[in-house]
Amino acid sequence: MSPPPADVALIGAGIMSATLGALIQRLEPDWSVEIFESLDEVALESSNAWHNAGTGHAGFCELDYAVPRPNGTLDVSTSIATGEQFHITRQFWSALLASGELPTASRFVQPMPHLAFVAGAENVAFLRQWYDTLRREPLFAGMRYSDDSGQIGEWSRALVDGRESEQPIAATYEASGTDVDYGAMARALIDAQVARGVQLHLRHRVTDLEQDGDGWRITHRSPAGTRTSRARFVFVGAGGGSLQLLQRSGIPEADGYAGFPVSGKFLRTRTREVVATHRVKAYGRAEQGVPGMGAPHLDHRTVDGEGSVLFGPFAGFDPRFLKAGSRLDLLRTVRPGNIGAMLHVAKDNVDLLTYLIREITASHGKQMRALRKLMPTADDGDWELITAGQRVQVIGKDANGRGRLQFGTELVTSPGNRLAGLLGASPGASTAVPVMIRLLQEAFPDRYPGWADPLRELVPSLGRTMNTDAEWALDIRRETAAALGLDGV
Ligand SMILES: Cc1cc2nc3c(=O)[nH]c(=O)nc-3n(C[C@H](O)[C@H](O)[C@H](O)COP(=O)(O)OP(=O)(O)OC[C@H]3O[C@@H](n4cnc5c(N)ncnc54)[C@H](O)[C@@H]3O)c2cc1C
């Protein structure tokens, strides 16, 4: 007799599956959950600490989120929405810390001020406008601004040392920013689930998904051979591998999607004296014609207790959809239903293609020159180039069926078919909690009303906006800042 199907199968053991598993364990502790991961360990792809920048994106420093309106004002709604989302994440982490489901906060989150930093008169004027617009919003009321190099030097020596004194510079500073090791977080979440009975199958690569009664038959390949398992509900949290699996599942909601891989690289230094000059995350402004994901940033990181500074990202091209993927990944996802969208996107995004070609052919000298725009004293000998995670930019279709490049995270749910998956990379890991809560709402419409109250106990701001109730928001911020050991609120 074959064993009964699991209630839930999570494909991939990155931060998304880890977060969904943690939510399910809270809401339905009796459900059986199995996790299938193709690699030897949890979180070795994009969620690994060195494969992303570790920014807890809260809207404090990402200048490209602001959209200029025709009347000259700035639309900062994306910054506010990102802030709201990260506060949901902070509340969930705090609740898991309080219940002991996560170990000490310092294992995965560090207080790390977030700065936006620019040079040149035009950029300084833009930053001033950005700051003046955002500081009226309660979630951003604590942000500071300065165009004084003495003050900016107190925030980060690296940004001012060696800089021509006549060049105008300006920065904003938000003390409650974070640096997050999403790999450590995913491992801690999955360890807690395994301790409560979740089955984690490492070295099990899922190769096929077929509908089976009211659930799914999952084919997986492991060193022991090819086997099948069954589950009533499947989450495809396979990162760059999600598109192929969603296509294989045959759900209509995955029709028409395509993906384009962009690999990331960072310059990294571990030289102590250099690292000591920059204990913040500083995000610059993308140059004209460069997409937001190409905005330069200089990040202090703490990984396994050791400090370092990363600069990047530099884009590269690799046809694989995962670092451990196949060179045929891109080809394998091309279908008659998505090739038109891919061609449209290529035609409509000449700027992006030019940027990618420029990046791929950039020499080490050019990369160092880009770094010196933020850290003028950077010395070649202190920096090494490391390869970060693979991003698969999602190509979807607009209302007219025309291909459209999507920069956000795309949740694909098929409630009738009891399957959901996640595509896309940005803002990524920081949004894991709100995105996985949205998944529960969309994929389990019958169950969700019964989960809403327990979810609000974990995340009091769920379904409300913190930005419109300053005092209440401040209480929540104080509580979560204390739980996570953050500076400021
Ligand atoms: C250069 C770069 C910088 C970034 N910086 C940030 C940042 O600063 N802040 C932020 O919030 N986000 C950032 N992100 C985004 C963030 O890293 C991702 O959104 C997040 O890690 C995705 O998590 P995931 O669980 O979906 O995917 P992953 O972590 O990639 O996990 C997917 C897992 O699925 C497994 N898998 C794949 N196929 C199969 C299969 N067929 N069978 C079984 N297992 C499979 C993989 O081995 C992997 O372990 C960045 C990303 C990149 C590339």
CA distance 174 to 86: 14
Q: Which residue has the higher pLDDT, 171 or 361?
A: 171
Name the closest-CA residue to atom 39, ligand 1.
238
Closest ligand 1 atom, CA of 429? 11
Ligand 1 neighbours (beta carbon < 6 A): 11-17, 36-39, 43-47, 52-55, 57, 182, 205-206, 237-239, 241, 245, 264, 313, 322, 388-389, 391, 422, 425, 427-430
* Residue 426 pLDDT greater than 70, yes or no: no
Nearest to 23, CA basis, from 270, 189, 232 = 189
Q: What is the pLDDT of residues 310-320, one digit of tens each?
A: 999 998 888 89
Tell me if 208 sits within 8 A of 330, measured CB to CB. no
CA of 198 from ligand 1 middle (Å) equals 21
> What is residue 397's predicted lDDT score, i.e. its pLDDT?
79
pLDDT at 111 over 90: yes
Backbone angles phi, psi at 411, to 5 degrees: -95, 125
d(CA 411, CA 435): 8
Q: In the structure, what pLDDT confidence band is assigned to residue 463 with cuts at 50, 70 and 90? A: very high
* pLDDT tens digits for range 74-100: 999 999 999 999 999 999 999 999 999
Give 170's Cβ-side CA count (13 Å radius). Answer: 19
From the CA of 17, how far away is ligand 1's center (Å)? 10
pLDDT at 1 over 70: no
Contact between 247 and 52 (Cβ < 8 Å) = no
Kindly give the distance from the C-alpha atom of residue 183 to the centroid of ligand 1, in angstroms, as a whole number: 9
Amino acid at the residue 355: Y
Q: Is residue 427's pLDDT more than 70?
A: no
Give the per-residue pLDDT at 425.
67
Atom 33 in ligand 1: which residue has the minimum CA distance?
12
- Is 35:187 a contact under the CB 8 Å cutoff? no
**Average pLDDT score over residue span 216-234:** 97
Cα gap 489→480, rounded to integer Å: 8
Compare 160 and 293 and report the one with higher pLDDT: 160
CA of 83 to the centre of ligand 1 (A): 21
178 CA distance to ligand 1 middle (Å): 19
153 Cα to the center of ligand 1, angstroms:
34
CA distance 295 to 316: 15
pLDDT of residue 219: 98
The whole-number pLDDT of residue 438 equals 96
Q: What is the pLDDT of residue 399?
A: 75
In whole angstroms, give the CA distance from residue 42 to residue 104.
19
| Residue of 23, 45, 433 to mutate, ligand 1, most atoms within 8 A of C-beta | 45
Candidate ranges 414-418, 420-424, 462-466; pick with highest mean pLDDT: 462-466
**pLDDT tens digits along 436-447:** 999 999 999 999
Mean pLDDT of the chain: 93
**21 token code pair:** 């598993």
CA distances from 262 to 254, 258, 361, 398 (A): 21, 13, 14, 22
Lowest mean pLDDT among 57-71, 410-424, 464-478: 410-424
